[in-house]
Amino acid sequence: MVAPNGAKKTKEILPQIPLSPAELAEEAKNCADNGASIFHLHIRDKNQGHTLDVGIYRETIAEIKRIAGDSIIVQATTENCGIYQPHEQMQMVRELKPEAISCAVREFVPTPEHETAAKEFFAWVEQENIWPQYILYSPDEIRKFADLKARGIIPAKHNFVLLVLGRKSVEQPKDAFAKPHDLDPYLATVREVCPDVTWAICAFGGNENECMKYAFEQGGHARIGFENNHWLVDESIAPSNAALVKQLVETSGIEPATANEVRNKYSGTRQP
C-alpha cells in the first residue's frame, strides 16, 4: 500500500507531494507500475487543506480510474484531522461508496456512547461490500479493536488492520523516526488478542524502509509513502512515492501482489 500525501504536508513543505486529482492519478499509475496494489487516498481543498468533500473525492477517484484503471485499489481515508465528527465521516462514506476505506477506531468509537452508531455503520459497510481497514495507534487500541469485534460492534469478517509506528510530524525530525522493533509490543498484542487479523504497518520517518522489511519478516504487510515518510535510505528526499515503492521492492526482495490478487485474497471483492 502507498499513502501518497496524507492530511497535512503541503507543497511548501514537499513540492513533489501529489495533491490535485491529476497529480494523484499520475502517482497512482506510477506506484502501481512499481508494485503498489492499494492507494491510501487523502484529498485536499483549494488551499491544500484536508477535506472529506464527496465531490472532490469523486473527481479524484474518477481521474485515478481513468489513468490507472483497476491496477490499484483506491482506499478513501475517513480521517477527521480535528475537523470532522464521526457522523460526518460516516456520511461521507455512505455518499461516496468507495471500494475501500480506512477508519481509525479511536475516531469512530471515541466513547461507549458512540458504539451503537458505529455498529450500524460498520454493518452497512459490510453489506455494501466496502473493504475497511481499521487504524490502530497503540497496543491498547489493538485490545479495544478485539473487544469491539468480540461484542459485535465490528463485524467478524472485518479483519484488516494498520498498526501505526512513530510520531506524526510534517517536519519529520530524526527523534520522531519509528524503529523496526517498535513493532514488537504491537505484534505481541495482536498474537494474544486477535491472531487471525491481516495486518500492515506504517512508520513515520526515515527508517520506514527498514521497518517494512522487519514487518515482512514477521508476516505482515507494508504501507509506505509521503504521508509517513519522504526520505530514501540514502537520506536524500524521495522524488516521488513511486521511488519509495520501487526502493522497498528492490531492497526487500519481495514479489508484490497485484491489485486483483489482493482483491481476491483479502477484500472480498473478487475479480477475474
Q: To the nearest whole percent, how much of the chain has pLDDT over 90?
A: 93
Q: What letter represents residue 167's amino acid?
A: R
pLDDT of 170 > 60? The answer is: no
pLDDT of 272 > 50? The answer is: no
pLDDT confidence of residue 172: 59
Task: Report the pLDDT averaged over residues 200-208.
Answer: 96
Sign for the pseudo-dihedral over CA of 210, 33, 126, 197: negative
pLDDT of 201 > 80? The answer is: yes
pLDDT of 190 > 70? The answer is: yes
Task: Report the pLDDT averaged over residues 213-224.
Answer: 98
pLDDT in tens, 66-98: 999 999 999 999 999 999 999 999 999 999 999
Q: To the nearest whole percent, how much of the chain has pLDDT over 70?
A: 95
Q: How confident is the model at residue 108 (pLDDT cuts 50, 70, 90)?
A: very high
What are the distances in angstroms from CA 124 to CA 97, 120, 166?
Answer: 11, 6, 32
pLDDT in tens, 2-30: 999 999 999 999 999 999 999 999 999 99
pLDDT in tens, 109-133: 999 999 999 999 999 999 999 999 9
pLDDT confidence of residue 267: 79
pLDDT confidence of residue 271: 46
pLDDT of 169 > 90? The answer is: no
Contacts of 45 (CB under 8 A, 6+ apart): 51, 53, 56
pLDDT of 270 > 80? The answer is: no
pLDDT confidence of residue 10: 96
pLDDT confidence of residue 167: 76
Q: How far apart are CA 228 and CA 257, in angstroms?
A: 22
pLDDT in tens, 28-62: 999 999 999 999 999 999 999 999 999 999 999 99
DSSP string, 166-229: S---SS--GGG---GGGHHHHHHHHHHH-TT-EEEEEE-STTHHHHHHHHHHTT-EE-BSTTT-
pLDDT of 235 > 80? The answer is: yes
The pTM score is 0.95
Question: What domains appear along the chain, each with residue ranges and CATH number?
Answer: 21-253 (3.20.20.70)
